[in-house]
Structure 1
Amino acid sequence: MPFPQSGCCRCGATRFEVAAPPVLTAACHCRGCQRMSSSAYSLTAMFPADAFRVTSGSPVRGGLQGGQLTHYCCPACKSWMFTRITEVPDFVNVRPTLLEDAGWFRPYIETMTGARLPWAEVPAEHSYEGFPDMEEFGRLLQQFGGWFDSPERAGMG
């Protein structure tokens, strides 16, 4: 997958770029993500913070504000674009379907399966009823690079 990759909100008023591969991909089944996405789960691609930049527009805070998460949306169309997590400041969680080429995306992990809707299935390699603890999270980050670059996964795009 070539970098940089660009993306935008639904209306195109707010644009961004990622300059490096993701460090992890996920689907989250929590009720908050279900409500934010109006779907069974949200998708996320976690990028290094220094590889992410807004190239046009001025995202505004939306959804859940304060606490551990800050969600950013386009001020014009209100698309949920990315999330910054207080506990993990070195990364930005981007909605991967906003990228111009989202065909590469596949979730490596799924989280909060305790809130999963009965019919919602995700082809993730790892599944967690809640969130992985920090030790497990570190292991997942290490394993993801090899999985992401594997020929088997690349053929799934």
Structure 2
Amino acid sequence: MPAISLPLDGSCRCGRVHIRLTSAPICTAACHCRGCQKMAASAYSLTAMVPVDALEVTSGDTVIGGMHAPELQHHFCAHCMSWIFTRPVGMPFVNVRPTMFEDTRWFWPYIETHASARLPFAQTGAVKSFEKFPAMSEMEGLLKGYAEWSAQAV
């Protein structure tokens, strides 16, 4: 996996919403939960967790979609309805869909979550797997592990 080359630019499918990433992810993941399966219309969703101030919408506007929960704001393009990113309220990171970027060679999931809901054929190649979502007490170690792993994966 090549190193991430910043800034990264990307867009939704129709190109009406453009985004820019200015800092490397703090972790990468694939989620097998039923909500992500339904929103991604796929076996799992891919996520790059990035610092809140590292992701910018450079043109266009997003709308809130998905589950419309106060704790999770799922941002979509209003026209093509591409799921672009999710802001977990009160968290210091944003979950951006890495497939929105023009260059995706840098992406590889470090963790997979909700493996208990994995479809029988779905394989992610993630380094670590969790039956549900990792406990908050595990996050510090996972972020440190991702930083070490991603530095070596170059």
> Is this a same-fold pair by TM over 0.5?
yes
Shift of 1:104: 1.2
Higher share of residues assigned strand: 2
Shift of 1:86: 2.1
What is the root-mean-square deviation in Å for CA atoms of aligned residues?
A: 0.9
Percent identity, aligned pairs only? 50
Q: Which runs of 5+ in 1 are unaligned?
A: none
Q: Which residue is equivalent to 1:110?
A: 112
Q: Which residue is equivalent to 1:126?
A: 128
- The structure 2 residue matched to 1:58, chosen from 54, 58, 61, is 61
Distance 1:87 1:132, change over 3 A: farther
**How many Å separate the matches in 2 of 1:66 and 1:7?**
26
Q: Which residue is equivalent to 1:25?
A: 28
**How many Å separate the matches in 1 of 2:103 and 2:54?**
17
- The structure 2 residue matched to 1:43, chosen from 42, 46, 51, is 46
Shift of 1:106: 0.4
User: Where has structure 1 moved over 3 Å in runs of 4 or more?
Assistant: none
**How many Å separate the matches in 1 of 2:5 and 2:35?**
32
**How many Å separate the matches in 2 of 1:62 and 1:52?**
19
Q: Residues 3-26 of structure 1: CA distance to partner in whole angstroms, max 9, x if unpaired? A: 111110001100011101000000
Shift of 1:67: 3.4
Q: Secondary structure of 2:50's match? A: strand
Aligned length: 151
Q: Tell me the TM-score normalized by structure 2.
A: 0.95
**How many Å separate the matches in 2 of 1:92 and 1:145?**
17
* Residue 10 (str. 1) matches residue 22 (str. 2): no
Q: Which runs of 5+ in 2 are unaligned?
A: none
Shift of 1:87: 4.8
* Residue 68 (str. 1) matches residue 107 (str. 2): no
Q: Tell me the TM-score normalized by structure 1.
A: 0.93
Q: Which residue is equivalent to 1:135?
A: 137
What is the identity, as a one-letter code, of the residue corresponding to 1:113?
Answer: A
- Larger RCO (CA under 8 A, 6+ residues apart): 2
After TM superposition, the structure 1 = structure 2 runs for residues 84-99 of structure 1, keeping only pairs within 5 Å, are 84-88=87-91, 90-99=92-101
Q: Residues 34-73 of structure 1: CA distance to partner in whole angstroms, max 9, x if unpaired? A: 0001100000000000111100001000111123211000
